[in-house]
Structure formats: C-alpha cells, structure tokens
Amino acid sequence: MKLVHTVVGALVLVAFLLTGQYMDYLDVRSGRLGDVTRMMYRSRHIYLLLAGLVNLGVGAYFVRHASGWRRSLQIVGSILILLAPALMLAAFFSEPGVGLQRHFTLPAIIILSVGTLCHAFSGLRPRVSVTRTD
C-alpha cells in the first residue's frame, strides 16, 4: 500500500500540473468564462492537489498493522483515499460551467476525510498506565 499511495500521489500531482495548463489554455484567469466558472475551476484544481498530497503523505508514513481492527480500518482508509483523486478529477472536468453543483466534489471530500480519519484512528495506541514504585 505504501508504494500504491506514493505512485497515485505522484500521478495526481502530475494531473494537477496538467489541469493547471488546461486552465491556462481556457484562459480562466481573464474572467472571460464568468466568475462562478472561474471559481469552480480553481477550487476543483486545488482539491485535486489536496487529494494528491494526502496520498503522498499516507505513502510516506504508511506502516502496515499486523492484524485486527487496526489493519481493517487502515485498509478501508487506504481504499477511500485512493478513490478520492478519481472523483476530484471527474469534478474538475464536469462541474465547472454547470453552476454550483457538486455531484463529485462533495462525495470526494467526504471520502477523503473519512479515509484520513480511518488512518488516524488505526494509528492510535492504547494508553499505557505508568505506576511509580517509590
């Protein structure tokens, strides 16, 4: 999973650079497309960066748990985090120009958040009580 997250994160960063070039091609900065469309392109572009960076971060620190509920939570989190960039990319190309609709963005943000929380909770350690013997 470590390698998968790292590769997906790197590919998403390349997609981020390419979508930036696409926005330059459309001349989004000029405002020719309208303020709402401009905002939609830019926000979806930044969300794509977010998904790529989360994948790179998880890939950098991924340590597989041996077994149990922590491992299951980790697997669920990884699957969700790996799915989010595809939804973000779909949102970038389909949502601008159709108003303030968020058919892909909202589920992608939720999936990315839940996946990140799954990883965070899988990494929690039980409290160890320390008793002093004086």
Q: How confident is the model at residue 99 (pLDDT cuts 50, 70, 90)?
A: low
* Tens-place pLDDT, residues 100-131: 677 899 999 999 999 999 999 988 876 655 56
The predicted model scores a pTM of 0.84
The two structure tokens encoding residue 90: 């779909």
Looking at the domain assignment, is residue 87 inside a domain? Answer: yes
* Structural domain harbouring 75: 2-122
Looking at the domain assignment, is residue 88 inside a domain? Answer: yes
Looking at the domain assignment, is residue 76 inside a domain? Answer: yes
* Tens-place pLDDT, residues 31-89: 777 888 888 888 899 999 999 999 999 999 888 887 788 899 999 999 999 999 999 99
Looking at the domain assignment, is residue 59 inside a domain? Answer: yes
Number of domains the chain contains: 1
| Interacting residues of 101 by C-beta distance below 8 A, sequence separation 6+ | 95
Looking at the domain assignment, is residue 134 inside a domain? Answer: no
Give yes or no for residue 95 having a pLDDT over 90.
no
| Interacting residues of 77 by C-beta distance below 8 A, sequence separation 6+ | 114, 115, 116, 117, 118, 119, 122
Looking at the domain assignment, is residue 133 inside a domain? Answer: no
Looking at the domain assignment, is residue 128 inside a domain? Answer: no
- Backbone torsion region of residue 83, taken as left when φ is above 0, otherwise alpha when ψ lies between -120 and 50, otherwise beta: alpha
